[in-house]
Amino acid sequence: MMKPAFLLCLLLLTTSCKSAGDELVLTDHGKSNYQLLLPAQPTRAAQKAANILQDYVQRISGVKLPIATEGPAVTGAGIYIGATEAGTPEKIPPEGFVIRTDAKNVYIRGGSGQGIVYGVYHLLDTYFGCKKFDNGTAYTPREQRLHLRANMRDAQHPAFIYRQSYYPASQDPEYLSWHGLQQLDDLWGLWGHSFFKMLPPEVYFKAHPEYYSQVNGKRQPMQLCLSNQAVYDAVVAYLDKAIQHNPDALYWSIAPEDNNNYCTCDICKKADAAEGSPAGSLIRFVNKLAARFPQQRFTTLAYGYTAQAPHTPPADNVYIFVSSIDAYRGVPLAQEPSAAAFRKHLQDWKALGSHLFVWDYTTQFTNYLAPFPDYENLQPNLQYFASQGVQGVFSQGSGDTYGDMAAWNSYLQAALLWDPQADVATLKREFFKGYYGKAGALVKDYADALSNAVKAGQVKLDIYGSPVNNVNDYLSPANMARYTALLDKAEQAAGNEAPYAEHVWKTRLALDYTMLQQSLFYGIQEGGYRVADNNDHPVKPEWQGRISSFYDRCLRFGVKEMAEGGLTPEQYNNEWKERINTVWMPNKALNAPVKVATPFSQDYMTRGAASLTDGALGTTDYSFNWLYFQRQHLDATIEQSLTFSSVQTQYLEDVRHFIVRPVDAALQVSDDGVHFTTIATQKLSPMLEDTDDGKAQIKVLQFKLPQPVSTHYLRLQASCPDVLPEWRGSSHAPAICFDEIIVD
């Protein structure tokens, strides 16, 4: 006679595969009659998918489903993975999948590539409640009873053949597979701006200057000369070896360097004129390579001087990356006025029958941590790309360093790159609740408040902007106070519960960074880092603690650099230490009225002419506190009675952004503001290439007089060079930048 306990176990085993109503019960109270069944010759993807499903089912339910090969000996129910004999064969698009059940079994089939793996992760996420919000550990619920609806079918495939959201989470291979994303390193044998990767000037230029672009009548190592047969032969030789070394690469980039100094030799110029665009010689060159390597796919860039489509269509194995770099991000790209050129370029390349990819941008590259609320525009942008026949998207965020709302950006982009019609409201609800726990609703309100402030202020959200530039709109003091209150409440709601508290702290880095940057603009005014109502203007006593806390959290949360090619957190911290330890320099001209006779740029955040006497010093970021004179001279007059023996000011050198050293400077005085006398001059030495380390540098220009001088008007003049140094290799207009004039 069977014992009751044994009968109960037998009952559980025999009923676990049967439907409860319309359900297939896969596990129940530690028992299952299901196996994971593979075809006789499974693909690597199918084997990987089976291992993943086995692992997660065990994490969820405690049941380890056996993995076996299908066949006559199999008894009981099965979860069939891959192209098994059981089940109905289906035609599945590349990288797509089908999850299907009948009255007894489950079938997961995939298209080419990772389709079957994507299918398993979709099953775990959508039906079993697992979530992968970032590159941390996946959330796995504890559930004894796993079930699926009987006789259901879920078929999906991605909207784009190339899908990349470039944020830290993408460094996690499981995150990529979970969300159907890809990584450029896995697809491209050669990526991005590639001319000099193939023919580096340090190797070839000295012996073969003719390989490189002719600019202003002279061969310079700025781009390649694409009409030179020897260049083509050298690139073919490079690709022969590279393809042999990396035969699995899907794409090879043949693209110019990141500058506009294309070749203007007679042959290149003639080709570009015939094509109606400097992209003409590029497409002819890439098409020639595409014919030489017909089994390979090549990509190139419609960016900068190659943005405008030529007359010649790209070959069928050539894909064009169209860049949206010049557009503001406050409204969707389909409506944004500054995106008109991008839309035209996209349509013109489309008219040629091109395979189109888009290189899009979703962060502020000059300030990765600055709040950049373009989240509401991600869906309409991707829907627009899909409507234009775009086949792939590189959504460039902060890369492998943490940037503002990186986890939410990546999570949302991943879903929309797979399906641009996805339900964003549902995605938002599940992400903020799952990622922030009890603080989720408050952090969601914070993100919404940022987006709403951008809309209300009709802000031109700039990927090369600054949190200082927006002190009068979405990052105004009133708005900053509102955001701070929301995240204060979020911190209280999260308490010390891991990982939710850390996620709130990480999100708060954006406000901390904005406050620090804006304090540099405010200087000795309210909101600045120095005490306003004290003649010595010491640094506020709490500032050292703020800097230390910010630095510690940057290191803790994976901040590697503050901007693209910018300071590391350690360098940023050291700058602040130096600033805090710098004693205030008295200035007899502080807040004195000043007039500037020459025009300066209105594109950057200053207090106009008053920036020269407001006590707020410039930093290595030229976008605020500097008066920016492009091909204009500095001519500034302080209108105040002064007695002095020293005058100094700061100027900026940042050749990457075409900001150079002035040619000379002069100091003049006047009693009537009409007739001026020169009392001192300086001739500055030219900038040398080997003195430029690629980083912006602040320099001091000082006049020390042999004896005190009294005047009613003090004028400072400085000359801007007519052209950039030849070694800079650019015809871009040069600029000079000045900030505080200190009189003592």
At 694, is the pLDDT very low, low, confident or very high (cuts 50, 70, 90)?
low
Predicted local confidence at residue 15, as pLDDT: 36
Q: What's the confidence (pLDDT) of residue 156?
A: 97
Q: Which of 218-232, 262-276, 291-305, 686-700 has the lowest mean pLDDT?
A: 686-700
Rounded distance between C-alpha atoms, residue 407 and residue 135, angstroms: 9
Burial class of residue 151, CB neighbours in 10 A (0-12, 13-18, 19+):
exposed
| Domain residue ranges of the chain, discontinuous segments joined by + | 18-157, 184-192+248-257+276-422, 448-581, 594-743
Burial of residue 78 (number of CB atoms within 10 Å: 0-12, 13-18, 19+): buried
On the question of pLDDT at 14 being above 80, the answer is no
Q: Quick one: pLDDT band at residue 693, thresholds 50, 70, 90?
A: low
Q: Are 199 and 238 in contact (CB under 8 A)?
A: yes
Highest CATH level, class, for 594-743: mainly beta
CATH of 184-192+248-257+276-422, one of 1.10.1200, 3.80.30, 3.40.30, 3.30.2030: 3.80.30
Confidence at residue 75, expressed as pLDDT on a 0 to 100 scale: 84
DSSP-assigned beta bridge partners for residue 651: 699, 738
The helix or strand, by DSSP H or E, that contains position 394, with its residue range, turns out to be: strand 390-396
Rounded to an integer, the average pLDDT of 388-405 is 97
pLDDT value, residue 21: 56
* Fold exhibited by the domain 18-157: Chitobiase; domain 2 (3.30.379)
> Which residues does 525 contact at the CB level (< 8 Å), separation at least 6?
532, 614, 616
Sign of the CA dihedral running 231, 237, 240, 245 = negative
Do residues 509 and 467 make contact, with C-beta atoms less than 8 angstroms apart? no
Tally the C-alpha atoms within 13 A of residue 721's C-alpha that lie toward its C-beta: 22
Convert the pLDDT of each residue in 165-175 to its tens digit.
999 999 999 99
- Which percentage of the chain shows pLDDT scores above 90? 90
Are 81 and 43 a contacting pair, CB within 8 Å? no
Q: Which two tokens stand for residue 646?
A: 């020293």
Mean pLDDT across 444-453: 98
Local confidence band at 533 (pLDDT 50, 70, 90 cut-offs): confident
Contacts of 171 (CB under 8 A, 6+ apart): 135, 400
458 phi-psi bin (left φ>0, alpha ψ -120 to 50, beta other): left
pLDDT for res 532:
87
Q: Residue range 91-96: average pLDDT?
A: 96
Q: How far apart are CA 469 and CA 624, in angstroms?
A: 7
Average pLDDT of 520-537?
91
Given a cut of 70, is residue 691 above it in pLDDT? no
pLDDT at site 566: 87
- What mean pLDDT is predicted for residues 576-582? 93
Count of H helices and E strands in the chain? Answer: 19, 24
The answer to whether 116 and 109 have CB atoms below 8 angstroms apart is: yes
pLDDT digits (tens, 9 = 90+) for 461-485: 999 999 999 999 999 999 999 999 9
| Tokens 């794409």 found at | 251
Over residues 110-126, the mean pLDDT reads 97
DSSP-derived pairing of the beta strands 297-302 and 146-149: unpaired
Kind and range of the H or E element at 163?
Answer: strand 162-166
Q: Give, in order, the Cα–Cα distances in Å from 341 to each of 322, 348, 512.
A: 11, 10, 36
Q: How many Å apart are CA 440 and CA 432, to the nearest integer?
A: 5
Residue 521 — pLDDT band, cuts 50, 70, 90?
Answer: very high
pTM: 0.92
The answer to whether residue 7 scores a pLDDT higher than 60 is no
Banded pLDDT at 181 (limits 50, 70, 90): very high
Segment 75-92, tens digit of pLDDT: 889 999 999 999 888 899
Residue 19 is predicted with a pLDDT of: 45
Residue 67: beta bridge partners?
36
- DSSP bridge pairs for 735: 630, 659
Per the prediction, the chain carries an average pLDDT of 94
**pLDDT of 8:** 32
**Mean pLDDT of the region 330-356:** 97
The pair of three-digit structure tokens given for residue 489, joined into one six-digit string:
């409440």
Q: Report which DSSP code applies to 690.
A: G
Please list the residues that pair with 301 across neighbouring strands: 321
Per-residue DSSP letters for 167-182? SGGGGSHHHHHHHT--
